[in-house]
Amino acid sequence: MRKKWWKILCILLLLYVVIMGFVGPVPRLAIVNETVRNTYFHVALWLAMTTLLLASMLFSLKYLRDGKPQSDDIASELARSGLFYGILGCLTGSVWANFTWGDPWPNDPKLNGAAVGILMYLAYFLLRGSFDDEQRRARIASVYNIFAFAVFVPLIYILPRLTDSLHPGSGGNSTFASFDLDSQLRMVFYPAVIGWILLGLWLAELRVRLKIIQRAQQDRLLNAPR
């Protein structure tokens, strides 16, 4: 039970977020209206995605230092969870954009940067699949992962703030905190971020355990007497 407490917390937090996200009270805002509920999903998913990709990059650094296959496994599966969240973030963002801006994908620097970022991480997994040698794959993928995150952060969080963007906090627009992330939203938004991060870690853990089992089975087959 001591090892499962965070999984129970994850389930409880996301149940709370889903319920409050659909039926809980939200501030009445012009243009945004009820779509502000997407803050618990779209915005929270992107923050969780960034956290998972940061952790993935750190484990890639760890692999380059210790050379342990498990470090690379953790890095790749955290990146996989982050990529999954990125795709969900784009989908929820497109729904939100369609209601508020009248276009599911307007010509916006943050949206375009997000698309480039997702393509970079898709390329990361294509790169991993192009090598048969595990050590070589892990080394090259780790280096790529580090540089991918270093490029991803400016694409998503820095460049849109320097140009005209429809997103809050960009191009002179007010941030969420300044006009609509009030106490009502904060009570659900922060648990949502924590819940999505925990779910991403949970998914990554399951995938890492599966890889460990598969590697053990391969070693058993190789060492079996013939």
pLDDT digits (tens, 9 = 90+) for 79-103: 999 999 999 999 998 988 888 888 8
* Exposure string over 92-128, b if 16+ CB within 10 A, otherwise e: bbbebbeeeeeeeeeebbbbbbbeebbebbeebeeeb
CA atoms lying within 13 Å on the CB side of residue 157: 10
Return the amino acid letter for 185: L
Six-digit token pair at 174? Answer: 């007010």
* Count of C-beta atoms within a 10 Å radius of residue 41: 21
Rounded distance between C-alpha atoms, residue 45 and residue 116, angstroms: 17
What is the model's pTM? 0.89
Q: What is the pLDDT of residues 156-195, one digit of tens each?
A: 888 887 877 666 655 444 445 544 556 778 899 999 999 9
